[in-house]
Every structure is written in structure tokens, then in C-alpha cells.
A and B are shown apart, each in its own frame.
Chain A
Amino acid sequence: MAEFDNFKEDLNKTFPCRQSQINLLMSLFGQRHQYTYASLFIYGHTGTGKTAVTTNILNHLKLPHVLVNCVECYSSRFLYEMILNSLHGNSVTESSDLVKCDNMNDFVRMFKQVSEEKGIDKETIYIVLDKAERLREMEMNILPAFLRLQELTQQNVCVILLSEIVWEKFRTGSGYCEPFVLHFSDYTNDQLIEIMMLDHPTEYDENFYRMYLNLVLSVFQMVCRNLKELHHLARLNFQRYAEPVKTGEATAEDTRKLWKNIEPHLKKALQTVYLREVSSSQWEKMQQSIEAGQPPALQGLSSRSHVELPYYSKFLLIAAYLASYNPAKTDKRFFAKHAGKMSKQSKLLKKHERASNHMLGPKPFALDRMMAIFYSVVEGRVAPTANIFMQISSLVSLNLLGHVASDDQIDSPKYKCLVSLDFIKSVSRTVNFEVMRYLFDFV
């Protein structure tokens, strides 16, 4: 029993703050030959140690188990074969004696065979299905069958489902044999720091790093409580934090100075690295160049929204944008020659729904309307050649326009404009067209 406790202590050291979950799981698993729940459903947020804790317990106790990620198994056949083969101990590369299985009936039969062959039919066999929410998208008999695998195989099996999604969302049809539902709770801030302290840089003092983690959390915790993300950000920015100490500008105790130094930097990281605007390696490179001298202007992913388009395509896109975001009844006012000014009453009326079109999103429009707007905004005479219509369909394939399903696809197709206001502004700037003057929301 002493070794058993030792193991538990080890596990608690590797996974701090998961003590109750570890205890619970171990008591549920019990002895090797003992029965346990037919199925366990474990849910919790990303990075709460669902997979890590479960597999570590199984590995350490050397219980016969199979770990399958349901994302990899996009068809049920792969799922069956993966479970059987890894239970059998086959490596996937050796194609000679792989087990073949393509339906649930064969799976249940072969499962019995394999476990008898391996001599583990007297012990509890654990099947861990990670990302179990994917099982819902497979054939509808798979999930209920896995939940009663114990009964179907007449063997000591326990199926463990791991997911981020709550169990209620799995129920369909006439119901299942319900699993025992367990929750892995989220970490509190103190616990997050505790866990991130596990791999603190050895060359610095523990308290120094703890102080730093506190700062990181104070910037990021409002937005993100994902341990993996926070851990990544903390590692990425630590060099920058420790720099004044290294150069001798500040001492390790001078927290205020260090905070002043790092805060703007972390805030910037929130807008760039956190959103993956710049990659982590770019971010690191940038830090080095800051050390060297001037901070370079960061070219993120989204700032590169500029696209080179042909002249007419630009106008087609502008016309499409105007057609999508302006109500049809205002076309006359914007594009007809002798249109009166907006009456006072309609101006008042408009105040209520100010910018509402940009809130509700693009409206579909007919091709005729877009062409009419196109002819009135484009300079010079443009013949409606096949080329122009080709450009429209290529805008659709570039995902700048969207095709809306309508009754008549050839005679009167309908479209939607799928670009943002900033994008259309930059496009219209290149052709010297003031798009804001023509948008109903902004006049």
C-alpha cells in the first residue's frame, strides 16, 4: 500500500491542484479485477488536465487501456481498428497482421477475442475517447453502443469520454444508458500560478518569477483563463521582463520599475501574439531588434488586407458593397441626376436607425441593381461584355462576394458583399472614389 501512496504523491506533484480529481478517479477504478462504471464522462475547460490526469493514472498503474482521439478517426472504421490494434499491441506501420473491422457487430466480437488472446479479459479494460464530441457526428449507433459496451461484450470494460462540451448536448433520440458524469473544475488564479511555477527558469529566483506571473495574470486574466495560452505567453515575454535585471538597470526587488517596463509590452502582446497576428517566432525576433535599437513597425496578418484587383473589379466590388449596405429605396437619391435633398422628416427618422445596416450585416441584392449602381459610379462608358460578368464570378470565387441561393440562378442571381468597411475604404481610395459619401448609414 505504501508504494500505492507514493505513486499518488508523485501524481499530485506532477498535477498540483488536481488532488480531489485524482483521488476520485483512483477510487472509481479500484482494483484491477473489480468492476467500475460502464462509462465515465469527464468534462471541463481546455487545459484542466482531463487527458493528462486520466492517462497518467492509467499508465502508472499499468492498467490495460487504449487512448483514441476521435478527431483522428473521421470514419467509424478507423475508430474500431485503432482500438483493436492498439489493444492487440500492433504497431500501425506493420501492415501484416492488422485487425480489420468495419462494423460495430464485428468490433464487439473481435474485442472479446483480442482481450482473451492478450489474457486481459479478467481485468478492467479502459477505452479513453478524447474529444468525444466528435462521436455525435458519426453514425448514430456508435455513441450508445460505446456507453453499453460492458453489457454488449459481457466483459469488464470502462469507456471514458473526455470532452469540453456538457453532457446534455450529447443526448438525442430515445436516450442512452447514461454515463457517470464528472467535472474537472477550472483553476483559480493562485492555482494557475502554482502550476506555471512548475517550470520556472532555474537561473532566476523563484519569487522573482512568481512576481512576474502575477503581472502576466493581471493583464491577461480578464480575457483568458486558458492555462496553455497563459503559459505560452508567460514564457514568451519573460526575457523582456528580466532584461533590466540583466543589464543592471534595476534590481530584482525593484518591482515598480520592472512593472513599468513590462506593462506596455504585455498590453501589446494581448493585441498581437494572443490573436496570432504575429507568430511567436516573429515576436521573439522583434524583441531582439528592440534590444538592438528602434522598434520596427509590426506588420500583422490582418493589416495585410490590401488586395490587388483589376480596375473594373474594384468598381464592381464597390457597387456590390453599396448595394448590400444601402436600402434599395435610397438608390434614387444617391445615383439619379436630379434627386432632391433628404427631407427633414426622413433625416429625423433616420437618427433612430443610425448605422443599423452595418450592424445587421449585408443584405442580398439582385444582379441588375448592382450593375445599375456600377454604371453610375464607374467613369466612362463600359460595355457589358462577358469579361465583366467573368469578373463577378471570379469575385465570388475569391470569397469577396457571396452567392445567395435563389429560385433562378441564371436569370436573376442574387449576391451578398462579404468584405468589411475598412477593406472597401482602402479599395475605393485606390480609385479615388469616396465611398463614405454614398453610404446611407454615414451621411
Chain B
Amino acid sequence: MKSSRRKSKTTKETDSGETTSLQNVQDELRLRFSQNALSPALHGYEKERRQLFDLIKRTASTGESNSVLVIGPRGSGKTMTLNSIYNELIEDDNIRENLLQVKLNGLLQTDDKIALKEITRQLQLENTLGDKVFGSFAETLQFLLDALKCGSQSSKPILFILEEFDMFAHHKNQTLLYNLFDIAQSDQAPICVVGVTCRLDVIELLEKRVKSRFSHRQVYFLNNYNFENYCDICMSYLRIESKPVGSDFIKEWNKQVEKLSKDGTVRDVLQQQFNFNKDIRALHHILMYVVCHLNETHSFPTPSDFVEAMKVTMTDSKSAMLHGISILELCLIIAMKHLTDIYDGEPFNFEMVYSEYAKFAQKRSSMQMYEKAVVLKAFEHLLALELVKSTDGSGTRIQKEYRLMSLLIHPSQITDALQKYPQCPTEVKQWASTSVI
């Protein structure tokens, strides 16, 4: 049944050329905004790219050993640049045959043993070891080092790319880093060690002996572009380069994108996003949302799509959660807010909250006063939602009524939530606005 549905869909799509080209556009753009995006034209970083390119090329062609750290905030295009450098390098036949690449990631290779296995695997050295695939850690390291050491200037250069470099610095004794930098220092097989990280203080994490072997060459990828560049980048992501298929649609598409780039609303949205976060990856989220919402009846992005995408990404999650809690829980939060005000941020326990709530419910409101066990259940729900956190560790044995807590919501979020809350009793609102009873 499934296949028949798919078939019927494809026949329908071929009926109208419009749909197919929209599909193609969507396919391409979705891929572009995903993490697997092939590197598009780079924006900025010409200097940095040239520096890295020269360095890696020297290793690849002249057999010089190097080490470099690439530092920049998340989503600033570090990996993308390295990928594009590699792709450009291997266009040269000579280099493609010679250069070996080893990619390591601190998230995957969580200790040196796994990292070594991965290196042997990526260098395809397992065969050399014969049936005995991997020996002990020391054995593998020795074997690997021997293999690297017996090489000379003339042996194949290796490009090591260590992503999440700061995670490698947390390995025991930093053995892997020490050995890699040591090889890069001494006259052995030519390697180029490229560390990629988002920590500015990464050098401080290195041990002294490791630090002294590192060349202290650092390349910074900082998002240093202004709003105009940002807008251009945004539109260049949406633009489709000319393709033979369905060129009419693509022409129309690019025209619409051009129109969008001049639109005031879109620019407002982008400005807001820019002020909030210069990160390109955050921009991808918005663009992906816009692209995903296109369909046959709505085949070009409109400014309102951008506004909606912005709204989705910008919602304050705690206020949204506060919207869903019951009135009793809301009352408890207000009581906690008062307690934090009165005692100047000191932690409180359930008994205090309950007496504060009781004062309100008995004297100042017409609402039903709930018994303690019901209120405690509401309190525990707040605890489960992590809107309240216990200040002492959960290990301490004490009755739950007396455990010290602190409120994790800002007063402005409470006021915000109260305004949006459906059918909130007026007296609760008044109670929230009066500071101290």
C-alpha cells in the first residue's frame, strides 16, 4: 500500500513541473541547512583560510610538520573551512595520492585507547597487524609510533584533524596529544596536527611538556561581520545557483529571494536575530523553518514566514511552561516569589511556602483553601519540572517539608505568565503585584 501511495505521488508530481522544481529547491536547501552541508562559498575569513591552506599544503607537498589550533565560537565555520581546504587540496593529483587524512572527534574518541584504534583504522594499518587486530594499548601505541617514526621526509604526509580539541586535553596524561606534538616537533614522518575548538583558553589546559611541543600557532575564527554582511549571507543561502532543470522556476525563486532581501519586515527579523546571536547556525534554523513550510499552494517564502519562524525560536520556554500549570501551583510560585523578596534571596522550605499560601487563601481570597497534602503534591510537581531546586544535595536525609529550596524563575517571567494565563483569578494577580503582606 505504501509503495502504491508513493507511486501515485510521483506520477502526480511529474504532471506539474512546478512541484518537481519546488521539490528540487527544497531538497537542495534542506541539505544546505543540515549539518552535512557541502561547503558553499565562504564568507569572510579569506586571510585565515589562506593561512591554513598554506600550512596544510606545505605539509602535503614539502613534508614539513606543523601544528595549529583553530579557535572560534560554535557555528563560526571552522570545520567547514577545513573541509573546503581539504577538498581543494585533493584536486591536485599529486597530493590526493599522497596525503592521508585522520579525523578525530573528542565526542567520539573519549579516551586515548579508542583514539588509537580509530587512528589505526583510518590509516588502514589493521592489515599490517595481521590476525591479531589490536594488541594492548601500549603495543598499539608502540606500533603506531614505530610506523610513524621509521618514516622520513619522503614518506606520506598525514593530516590529523582533532575536533573538540579541548576534550582531548582532558585525557589522562594527555598521552595522545604529547605523542602527536612530539612527532610534529621531531624529524619523523611529516604530520600536520590541526586542533579545532571553541575554547579560547585551550592553551591553558595543556600540560607543560605538551605545551612546549606545540607551535603556538593559532587561527581565530571570530564572527566579525556587520549587519549588512549578515543580510547578504542570509540571502546567499537562499539563492539557488543556476541549474539546467526547471530553470524558469529557479529564476522566479531567485527573484523572490531578491525581493525578500529588500523587504523591511524580513530585515527587522534579521536585525533582531543578529542582535541576539551572530551565529550562522542559528540563522540556519530560521531558514530551515521557512523552507520546510513551502508547499504547492505556497511555493515562495514570504516575510510572514520569517516572522513566524522568529516567533517559534524566540519563545521563552519557562513562561510557556508556566502557562500550563494549575492555579494552585501558580499560587505557590507567587508565595515563593514573596518569600525570596522578603528574605533577600535566602532559601525557603515547604512549610514557609505553605504558611504564606495559607495566609493568602484564608484572609485575602474567596478561593478554596486546600489541605497540606494536596499542596505538597503541587509543590512536588514544581520540583519535578525543575522550576524549583533544592539547595542542599538530595543526599541529605530530611523530611521533604523541610528541605531548603530556591526559586529558579525571574519575577518578570512570573508577571509575564500571569498576564497570559487563561482565566487567572483577579485576586491572585493582585496578590502577585503586592510586594509584601
Contact = CB atoms under 8 A, between A and B. Distances in A.
A406 to B, nearest CB: 13
Nearest to A183: B320
Contacts of B289: 28, 180
A304 to B, nearest CB: 14
Given A108-B108, A174-B198, A168 B318 contact: yes
Interface residues of B, number: 72
Contacts of B167: 141
A43 interface: yes
A392 B214 CA distance: 62
B204 interface: no
A30 B31 CA distance: 12
B326 interface: yes
Contacts of A339: none
Contacts of A108: 108
Nearest to A271: B371
A37 B285 CA distance: 8
Contacts of A144: 107
Given A35-B30, A105-B118, A225-B326, A165 B399 contact: no
B135 to A, nearest CB: 18
B114 A105 contact: yes
Nearest to B79: A151
Contacts of B292: 27-28, 30, 36
B399 A33 contact: no
A3 B321 CA distance: 36
Interface in B8-37: 8-9, 12, 23, 26-27, 30-31, 33-36
A270 B378 CA distance: 13
Q: Chain A at the B interface: mostly helix, strand, loop or mixed? A: loop
A164 B325 contact: no
Contacts of A36: 30, 34, 288, 292
B386 A169 contact: yes
Q: Which of B12, B35, B324, B384 is packed against the most chain A CB atoms within 10 Å?
A: B35
Given A178-B281, A185-B323, A223 B295 contact: no
A361 B328 contact: no
A245 B199 CA distance: 72
Contacts of B105: 152
B401 interface: yes
B399 A418 contact: yes
A27 B323 CA distance: 26
A222 B367 contact: yes
Interface stretch (B94-102, B255-263, B309-317): B309-317
B359 interface: no
A222 B402 contact: no
Contact of A182 (B75, B312, B371, B373): B312
Contact of B317 (A181, A302, A362): A181
B352 interface: yes
Contacts of A186: 323-324
B384 to A, nearest CB: 7
B355 A225 contact: no
Q: Which of B36, B295, B386 is packed against the most chain A CB atoms within 10 Å?
A: B36
A148 B27 CA distance: 20
Interface in A30-55: 30-31, 33-38, 43-45, 48
B326 A360 contact: no
Contact of B110 (A139, A150, A164, A183): A139
Given A34-B27, A43-B317, A104 B107 contact: yes
A409 interface: no
Interface in A209-239: 221-225
A27 B295 contact: yes
B315 A183 contact: yes
B107 A33 contact: no
A251 interface: no
Contact of A38 (B35, B323, B370): B35
A341 interface: no
B436 interface: no
Nearest to B121: A109
B268 interface: no
Interface of B: 2, 5, 8-9, 12, 23, 26-27, 30-31, 33-36, 74-75, 79, 105-110, 114, 117-118, 166-167, 198-199, 281-282, 285, 288-289, 292-293, 295, 312-313, 315, 317-318, 320-321, 323-328, 349, 351-352, 355, 367-368, 370-371, 373-374, 377-378, 384-386, 397-399, 401-402, 422
Q: Which 8 A-B pairs have the closest CB atoms?
A: A361-B402, A186-B324, A151-B35, A166-B317, A35-B34, A150-B35, A35-B30, A145-B107
9 contacts: A3-B5, A3-B8, A37-B288, A45-B325, A104-B108, A166-B318, A221-B327, A358-B351, A418-B399
Interface of A: 1, 3-4, 27-28, 30-31, 33-38, 43-45, 48, 62, 103-105, 108, 139, 141, 144-145, 148, 150-152, 154-156, 164-169, 174-178, 180-183, 185-186, 188-189, 221-225, 270-271, 274-275, 277, 302, 358-362, 399, 402-403, 416, 418, 420
Given A43-B321, A105-B109, 9 more contacts: A28-B292, A38-B35, A45-B324, A167-B317, A175-B198, A185-B324, A186-B324, A222-B327, A223-B326
